[in-house]
Chains A and B, each alone.
Chain A
Amino acid sequence: MRLLERPVVKRRPVYLDLPRIRLPLPGIVSILHRVSGALLFLAGIPLLLAGVGCSLASPDSCAQLKAAFAHPLAKLVLVGFVWAYLHHFCAGIRYLLLDLLKGIELAPARRSSVVVLAVSLALTLIVGVRLW
């Protein structure tokens, strides 16, 4: 049988085994962009509106809000949302640059995904330290 006529048998996975999937770094940035976006929609927006509304209502309600966020658990949740916003922000800027055809080669795209992960975590750390 000639080479071209040989039947092509591709070994494709018949099911998705999530723990066995090893995402490359840009893939990790991508799925975290989606997860952080969903998190911001489900809880981030209502918390933001509730927080801003409460803080503006009166000096007392503003002080109460501050007191509520003195609790370590509340601070931890807040830092979580800060990370979600910062990751979504940094990854979003990366996507805008990719749309403008900046850094679309494999090596720069990998590098920029590391930058996104590092910068968003570093900024989250700075905010976290300032909160505590």
Chain B
Amino acid sequence: MVTRRDAVGAHYGLMDWLVQRLTAVVMAVYTLLVLGIALWNGGIDYPLWRLLFANGAFKLATFVFMVALLYHAWIGMRDIFMDYIKPVGVRLTLEAACVIVLVGYLGWTIQILWGQA
């Protein structure tokens, strides 16, 4: 029974625990996919690299990987802050900074994937 709830707590649910594992599996599958492409072609040179990122399905897979990575990073960093940063104000500031940075990374990802011709 939870008797005290922190504004910057884990919301005491199973959700984040589960998401951390699901995003891990998504990233592992993508990593093996890229590794497989590299091994299949005996390495990746510039033309193949461009070709890969011109492919809509690969772009989408990369986007899903990045969303999984950023969500995974959020839960991981929040766990670290919860373990080591005790003052609520400092923790909240760090968590907010972390979220802003991660959303920025998401924008950067979209720019890279769909911003360039």
Check if B103 is an interface residue, CB within 8 A of chain A. Answer: no
B21 touches A96 (CB 8 A): yes
How many residues on A have C-beta within 8 angstroms of the other chain's C-beta atoms?
A: 20
Cβ-defined contact, A96 with B77, below 8 A: no
Count residues on chain B whose CB falls below 8 Å from chain A CBs.
21
A127 to B50, CA, bound (A): 23
Q: State in angstroms the CA–CA spacing of A57 and B117 once bound together.
A: 9
A interface vs B, CB < 8 Å? Answer: 34, 37-38, 40-41, 45-46, 49, 52-53, 55-57, 59, 62, 89, 92-93, 96, 99
In the A-B complex, the 5 residue pairs with the closest CB atoms: A53-B112, A41-B73, A37-B76, A49-B108, A92-B24
Q: Could you write out 11 A-B pairs with CB less than 8 Å apart?
A: A34-B76, A45-B105, A49-B108, A53-B108, A53-B111, A55-B46, A56-B49, A56-B53, A56-B116, A62-B46, A96-B24
